Structure 1
Amino acid sequence: MKHGRDAQPLSRIEWVPRDDLHANGYNPNHVAKPELELLKTSILEDGWTQPIVARPDGEIVDGFHRWTVSADSRIYAMTAGFVPVVRLVPPATGDQMLSTIRHNRARGEHGVLPMAAIVRRLRDEEGLTVEQVMQRCGMEKEEVTRLYERGGMTERGTANKTDFSKGWAPTR
């Protein structure tokens, strides 16, 4: 366990030429083309918010897809072909592979109802168009529509209702 801020790899972010890095030969993670496009949009709109994790020799431990999209001419131009890197020195190849798996699996997944609430808020409160939500969230029109419709589902049909049918009462 690494104690203290200075002991954390994040304290040593460096900008290196993207061409100094290379893929590892075992990464089990795959990102579909729409999500790669969304990753590009994320970097173009928000900038680099996460570094690539690499060994001292430039082999990527985590961030292969960030590294991949950094070849896009627009992203490349943002930093003259440099990418943010944190170096890890895993004791053995097995430790490096475990680190890759942990990084990939720790990201979680999005729940449908929370995403529906976000889409509804983006449209209703933030004033985004369907097209803006599609482009900026990497969604198809049908997905935006379905999430938007589901986003108010728990409130729909309950306005001015104070008495509900006994058919909805749970029994034991």
Structure 2
Amino acid sequence: MAYKSPVYNVIAVPIQKIVPNTYNPNSVAPPELKLLYDSIKEDGYTMPIVCYYEKNKDIYVIVDGFHRYRIMLEYPDIYEREGGLLPVSVINKPLDHRLASTIRHNRARGSHNVDLMSNIIKELHEIGRSDAWISKHLGMDRDEILRLKQITGLTSLFKDVKFGTAWQPAEDWKTPEDEA
């Protein structure tokens, strides 16, 4: 069977069954949030919320679309017009791939909160993802990953980093006069 993108199976989900994820590093400034409200008010929901379905809890965890979800929560006119239902596209992926999906969706649109991004790098590292995996799945280069690791201040994040040998401890360093 050929691959079928999740967007071809959009379902209407009561907003009460949808919950935000705990790791989204994206934020939207008030003017852009107002613009999103205006867009949804004028055009309706033109893109579904991307969620992961947790069967044991019967909830949908947002992977992408938190701010579209937030508009429905904060604007009664939108809630009423939509009957409290959000369009949802479901992906079935493990947590590490959902983290990566969230970042890819967000990075394709704009900027991120650096502290929250560094926490995601930390979490991926703690569940065993290598820098190469992070680079491939989040679209980051090694320097960006290293900078985000530095923000966390956790030395365990650097155990696999190869550092240069350009410096020598002072007691091993010789001046040209010492060599003569």
Shorter-chain TM range is 0.5 to 0.7
Whether 2:96 is the aligned partner of 1:104: answer no
Whether 2:27 is the aligned partner of 1:30: answer yes
Partner of 2:91: 88
CA distance in 2, matches of 1:28, 1:108: 11
CA distance in 2, matches of 1:99, 1:81: 26
CA distance in 2, matches of 1:46, 1:82: 16
CA distance in 2, matches of 1:99, 1:34: 26
Aligned-residue CA RMSD (Å)? 1.6
Partner of 1:18: 15
Unpaired stretches in structure 2, ≥5 consecutive residues: 55-59, 112-180
| CA shift for structure 1 position 55 | 0.4
List aligned pairs for 1:126-145, cutoff 5 A. none
Deviations 1:16-42 (A, max 9, x none): 111110011110000111111111100
Q: Secondary structure at the match of 1:56?
A: strand
Unpaired stretches in structure 1, ≥5 consecutive residues: 110-172
Deviations 1:5-63 (A, max 9, x none): xx110110001111110011110000111111111100000111000000012110000
TM superposition score normalised by structure 2 = 0.56
Change (3 A) 1:14 1:23: same
CA distance in 2, matches of 1:108, 1:24: 19
Partner of 2:43: 46
CA distance in 1, matches of 2:72, 2:42: 14
| CA shift for structure 1 position 108 | 5.0
1 or 2, which has the higher strand percentage? Answer: 2
CA distance in 2, matches of 1:107, 1:35: 12
Q: Secondary structure at the match of 1:28?
A: coil
1:66 to 65, 68, 83: 68
CA distance in 1, matches of 2:36, 2:16: 19
Equivalent residues, number: 105
Q: Give the letter for the 2:25 counterpart.
A: P
TM superposition score normalised by structure 1 = 0.58
Q: Which runs of 4+ in 1 moved over 6 A?
A: none
Deviations 1:73-115 (A, max 9, x none): 011011111010000001x211100000000111259xxxxxx
